[in-house]
Chains A and B, each alone.
Chain A
Amino acid sequence: MTSLALTRDRIARVRPGPALAALLIAAFLLLFLVVPVVQVIFVAFQDKTTGAFTLVNFADFFQNDLFMRSFGNSFYVSAMSVVVASLLALPLAYLTTRFEFRGSVLIQSLGIIPLIMPPFIGAVAMQLLFGRNGSVNLLLRDHLGFSIPFMEGLNGVIFVQSIHYFPFILINLSASLKNIDRAMEESAQNLGCHGFRLFRRIVFPLAMPGYVAGASLVFIKVFDDLGTPLLLNVNDMLAPQAYLRISSIGIADPMGYVISVVLIACSLLALWVSALAMRGKDYATVQRGGGGLAKRRLKPLEMVAAYGIVLLILVLVLAPHVGLGLLSFATIWSFSPLPDAFTLKHYHTVFSESGQYITNTLLYASLAALLDVVIGTAIAYLVLRTKLPGRQWLDYIAMAALAVPGVVLGIGYLRSFYGVPMPFTGQPLSNFWLILVFALAIRRLPYALRACTAALQQVSSSLEEAAENLGATKLRTVGRIVVPLMSGGILAGFVTSFATAAVELSATIMLVHSQSDAPLAYGLYVYMQSAAGRGPGAALGIFAVIIVGLGTYLSHVVIERGRRERGQDH
């Protein structure tokens, strides 16, 4: 009887289709995520000449002034970016959730506009607007006799990064404030608590997990970012150091690997802090029929202050876009508040010289995004709908990509695939453009996976059972019921992956081998290296903004339409 029971259980548990899919995904993740990263960690602990285990590399790292300064700078910049981003996000989140504020559409767009402009693209424009001799300081110096060092050294990185990343805090914090049941607040009031005490004892603790989640995300993003410091010419930070070591000294130099390990460790630390803050705090507190926190009307004076704050932040947020736009049309823009004259020639230059960048970007980003949603949907289905042993690990490994900075992945790919010759051509595999696509796909996979998982979680499993009950096989059920019902989420995941992959620089910059294979982000970086290239670079940047902006808008439309069609618009 037991043997029969076992076989029946096994038949129910392991079907060949899902098992095959799981194996393929596992192989992909192993080859393009686990092996490169493990390789990097391995090399960091290896003696350069003998290959034996050693801690000497780390000792070197910690005794080197430049590296220690870079480490401190990276930490300082990330922490300060969190602080500044919080200062931007807090008033906005508070306004939308606690008050009946007419400008909430404005605030919502504030939450999206920065994200459609990759920070390193805006960095140069910000230099022209806020730099030592930028528009703002020129005006200040001429009229008021002083200037503000917005963009001096690390300040510039902090300034650019916090303007770009504050929406992460805004979105997370508003969501958790909105999810607080009004009854939570009312029952505290009923028991005699009000005013600031109410905020401190009830509202703040309930919103805390959302804030920490957003803040730790900002920290990691800033800590790992390579493009912004590189374009602002701030090289004494960790990610630029890793890049410079590998690109100038070579892939045999252990320091690049040591820095990579430090980057990974710090990312993991930030993720761990965030997980710690979230643990056991699943504050899904909105009960049936409950709304968010009570909203009240603003008094006239408060209204003025509110609009003042919102407009100020809007100006800051739009500054990179405006600056980039001006730069792309400018003949010469130097030591003056505005460009001397305007021209279309930069766009002409971009079209005639750099069409390759744009077509490459479209190809790479769409392939990577396609790969992401296929893998994301498959992992989501395997995890939520099958009993395949070890299925959770696919999810964990895919999500682990979050903790791997782009620079590290790039270094890992170089190390792992440089020695592998391609069939026929004999070129190193790491020079093959498809490798770049895989790197982009791995980098964006966690976001696509979460989008697909969320979409599948909304499909009640009885909808699938009904299909099977009426005679559809598992595969047919997936095709006719599951995927169509997930399509909104899948498409949103695709577009987000596409839009962000299109402007990814960190991994790209390490893996681009020839100009003809390079995507837009790399081209932009190359243009921005020279003063003469800034105009065409800005024009190229405008293309990037348009691609990302369109993508974001499309995913928004798709999600909204899906919601309406399913009658979930209430």
Chain B
Amino acid sequence: MNHQFSDQRFSSAALAAQIQSVGVDIEGVNLSYGTNHVLKDVNLAIKPGEFFAFLGPSGCGKTTLLRLIAGFNTAQRGEVRIGGRDISTLPPHRRDVGMVFQSYALWPHMTVRRNVAFGLEERRVPRAEIERRVDAALELVGLKHLADRRPSQLSGGQQQRVALARTVVIEPKILLLDEPLSNLDAKLRVQMRQELLSLQRKLGLTTIFVTHDQEEANTICDRIAVMEDGRVQQVGTPQDLYDHPANLFVAGFLGTANVLDGTVRDDGAGGRAFVGTGFTPVALPAAEAGTGAGGKLMFRPQNLAIRTDGGPPAPGHSRLTGTVRHREFLGASIRYAVDVGGQLVQVDAPHQAGDALLPPDAPIILDLAADKARFLRQ
């Protein structure tokens, strides 16, 4: 389990030099199965060499979109361009997009070597070159010594490497990964995702990664498209999505989100403020909302600080008063669920040995940094 995609191995592989990074453009894609509208007007521009993720819960359309790029289903409208060329009418075998399947889809009746050689054989590559490139690809994933095994004799992690080698050996224009880590155990998953990232960086291969796990997407992807209900909800870097979610779904999917109901008021000094029960008005940037509009205020548990000194809120902070409902001891921190004016808010308090925990029903005072909170319309 400890084969790394090392630099030394990589430079010996004859793969990287030939791969020319290309971008992927998805424009106005709509796809339905009967009355079931699976993809709704999807537009995405994936840059050359980018490690891009389709992130969303199951049934959001992310795998359908990936399979659309690979040519396994057909959109009713819209087009997919790879390196500027429309591939919508090409059959799967002429698309040159390498896909690693969730189940790996290794052919059980062929050895590892035969599996990896398959795509080159289909391309009528000369025999000697096939040998050389298969060896290079197997070396790249550190499995050259297992070349004559059958897939059923390999562990899950090894099977995944074979699937990867089988795909990159054909030097695809782009690499598609369909939940590649979901069949691995937790420890291996963390290791494999770093290996995937280093492989992708070295090959410079534009890669699309489908996952429902936001941690996976956050740790290795350059940019993420969050999908829900067949629509792209937001596209951005992991940090961007976490800090500036465009809507409640994105906010909730990328981490724990606190949401307070309220309305926007004039603060009397030309600015705007978010007003509701249980907290003092929160100053909003003027551009965010018109006066009188209803909306939600979203912030993260770590944006709150518990105040026990009885002093006034610090400048730029709003005060929340409430009651502890229940608590979860997480080790490094304690997460309290606090009732603020009838709405539950979660707050993380760092924990040190010897610290006392607040009991349920204890009154609690919280300060919220206004510039960390984000106003969202419904």
Chain A interface (Cβ < 8 Å from any Cβ of B): 1, 4-5, 8-9, 11-12, 460, 462-463, 465-474, 476-477, 480-481, 484-485, 565-567
Q: Which residues of B contact A481 (CB under 8 A)?
A: 107
A12 touches B105 (CB 8 A): no
Contacts of A8 in B (CB 8 A): 74-76, 88-89
Bound: A477/B121 CA distance, A: 12
A4, A468, A471: residue with the most chain B Cβ atoms closer than 10 Å: A471
The answer on a CB contact under 8 Å between B76 and A9 is yes
Q: How far is the CA of A4 from the CA of B75 in the complex (A)?
A: 11
Cβ proximity bits B115-132 to A, threshold 8 Å, 1 near / 0 not:
000110011000000000
- Closest CB-CB distance, B197 to chain A, in whole Å? 22
For the complex with contacts A12-B74, A473-B91, 19 further pairs of A-B residues with Cβ separation under 8 Å are A1-B77, A8-B74, A8-B76, A460-B103, A466-B107, A467-B118, A467-B122, A468-B91, A468-B93, A469-B97, A469-B99, A469-B167, A471-B96, A471-B122, A471-B170, A474-B91, A481-B107, A566-B108, A567-B108
The chain A residue sitting closest to B154, CB to CB, is: A567
Which secondary structure characterizes the binding site on chain B? loop
Give the size category of B's interface with A.
35 or more
Residue of A nearest to B74 (CB): A12
Q: Which residue of B lies closest to A473 (CB)?
A: B93
| Residue B231 CB within 8 A of the other chain | no
By the criterion CB–CB under 8 Å, are A463 and B97 in contact?
A: no
Q: Tally the A-B contacts, defined by beta carbons under 8 Å.
A: 92
A4 to B78 CA separation, bound complex (whole angstroms): 10
List chain B residues, Cβ under 8 A from A476. 93, 122
Q: Please tell me if the beta carbons of A11 and B89 are within 8 angstroms of each other in the complex.
A: yes
Return B195 CB to nearest CB of chain A, in Å.
21
Task: Say yes or no for B92: interface residue by CB 8 A criterion.
Answer: yes
- Max chain A Cβ within 10 angstroms of own Cβ: one of B97, B99, B166: B99
- Taken together as a complex, chains A and B put the C-alpha atoms of A474 and B72 apart, in Å, by 12
Taking the closest CB of chain A, its distance from the CB of B256, in whole angstroms, is 32
Task: Indicate if the CB atoms of B105 and A472 lie closer than 8 Å.
Answer: no
Contact of A485 among B94, B108, B123, B170 (CB under 8 A): B108
Chain A residues with Cβ below 8 Å from B103 are 460, 462
In the assembled complex, 28 residue pairs joining A and B whose CB atoms fall closer than 8 Å, in A order, are A1-B77, A4-B77, A8-B76, A8-B88, A11-B89, A460-B103, A460-B105, A462-B101, A462-B103, A463-B105, A465-B72, A465-B92, A465-B99, A466-B106, A466-B166, A468-B91, A469-B92, A470-B166, A471-B94, A471-B123, A471-B170, A473-B91, A476-B122, A485-B108, A485-B109, A565-B150, A566-B108, A567-B150
In Å, the complex CA distance between A491 and B78 comes to 45
- A567 with B152: in contact, given A469-B93, A476-B122, A485-B109 (CB under 8 Å)? yes
- The reply to whether B76 and A5 form a contact with Cβ atoms under 8 Å apart is yes
A566 pairs with B92, CB closer than 8 A:
no
Interface residues of B in 82-100 (CB under 8 A from A): 88-89, 91-99
Q: Is B39 part of the contact surface with A, judged by Cβ < 8 Å? A: no
Q: Say yes or no for B191: interface residue by CB 8 A criterion.
A: no
A363 CB to nearest chain B CB (Å): 31
Q: Is B153 an interface residue (CB 8 A)?
A: yes
| Min CB gap B177→A, angstroms | 12
Decide if B70 is an interface residue (CB 8 Å cutoff).
Answer: yes
Q: Considering the complex of A and B, which 4 residue pairs feature the smallest CB-CB distances, nearest first?
A: A567-B152, A470-B119, A466-B105, A462-B105
Q: Which residues of B contact A484 (CB under 8 A)?
A: 109
> Chain A binding site: helix, strand, loop or mixed by DSSP?
helix
Identify the closest chain B residue to A15 (Cβ): B91
Q: Mark B339-352, 1 if CB is under 8 A from A, else 0.
A: 00000000000000
A476 to B118, CA, bound (A): 11
Cβ-defined contact, A466 with B74, below 8 A:
no
Q: Which residues 312-360 of B have a CB within 8 angstroms of A?
A: none
Convert B16-50 into 0s and 1s, putting 1 for each residue whose CB lies closer than 8 angstroms to a CB of A: 00000000000000000000000000000000000
CA distance A141 to B75 in the complex (A): 82
Cα A471 to Cα B98 in complex, Å, equals: 9
B99: A residues at CB distance < 8 A: 465-466, 469
Q: In the assembly, what is the distance between CA of A5 and CA of B30, in Å? A: 10
- Which of chain B's residues 37-71 have a Cβ closer than 8 Å to chain A? 70-71
Q: Which residues of A contact B107 (CB under 8 A)?
A: 463, 466-467, 481, 485
**In the complex, chain B residues whose CB is within 8 Å of the CB of A462:** 101-103, 105
Shortest Cβ distance from B30 into A: residue? A5
- What's the least CB distance linking A564 to chain B, in Å? 10
> In whole angstroms, what is the CA distance A474 to B89 when docked?
15
The answer for the CA separation of A481 and B88 in the assembled complex, in Å, is: 25
Contacts of A472 in B (CB 8 A): 93, 118-119, 122
Given known pairs A470-B170, A471-B123, A472-B93, the reply for A9 and B101 (CB within 8 Å) is: no
CB-CB under 8 A from B70, the residues of chain A are 465, 469
Residue of B nearest to A484 (CB): B109
A5 vs B29: C-alpha distance when bound (angstroms): 12
Task: List the A side residues contacting B71 at CB < 8 Å.
Answer: 468
Residues of A within 8 A of B96 (CB): 471
Contacts of B153 in A (CB 8 A): 567
| B residues less than 8 Å from A12 (CB atoms) | 74
Instruction: Assess the B167–A470 pair: CB atoms within 8 A.
Output: yes
- A residues in contact with B92, CB < 8 Å: 465, 468-469
Closest Cβ of chain A to B227, distance in Å, is 21
Given contacts A485-B107, A567-B108, contact A469 B74 (CB under 8 A): no
Minimum C-beta distance from B106 to chain A (A): 8
B:108-158 near A, CB below 8 Å: 108-109, 118-119, 122-123, 150, 152-153
Which of chain A's residues have a CB closer than 8 A to the CB of B77?
1, 4-5
**B254 CB, nearest partner CB in chain A, Å:** 29
In angstroms, Cα B72 to Cα A8, docked, is 13
Complex contacts, B152 vs chain A, CB 8 Å: 566-567
Complex Cα spacing A472 to B124, Å: 11
| A70 to B361 CA separation, bound complex (whole angstroms) | 88
Contacts A1-B77, A8-B76, A473-B93 given; indicate if A465 touches B122 (C-beta within 8 A). no
Tell me which of B74, B76, B105, B119 contacts A465 (CB under 8 A): B105
Q: In the complex, which residues of chain A have a beta carbon less than 8 angstroms from the beta carbon of B102?
A: 462
Closest Cβ–Cβ distance, residue A561 to chain B (whole Å)? 12
- Point out the residues of chain B lying under 8 angstroms from A5, CB to CB: 76-77
- Min C-beta distance of B275 to chain A, whole Å: 47
Within residues 253 to 275 of chain B, which ones have a CB less than 8 A from any CB in chain A?
A: none
Q: Which of A4, A480, A565 has the most CB of B within 10 A?
A: A480
Q: Contact between B74 and A471 (Cβ–Cβ < 8 Å)?
A: no
CB <8 Å contact, B101 and A465: yes
**A9–B122 Cα gap in the complex (Å)?**
27
For the complex, what is the distance from the CA of A5 to the CA of B75, rounded to whole Å? 8
Partner pick for B98 among A470, A477, A485, A567, CB 8 A cutoff: A470
Instruction: Using known A-B contacts A5-B76, A465-B70, A465-B101, determine if residue A566 contacts B109 with beta carbons closer than 8 Å.
Output: yes
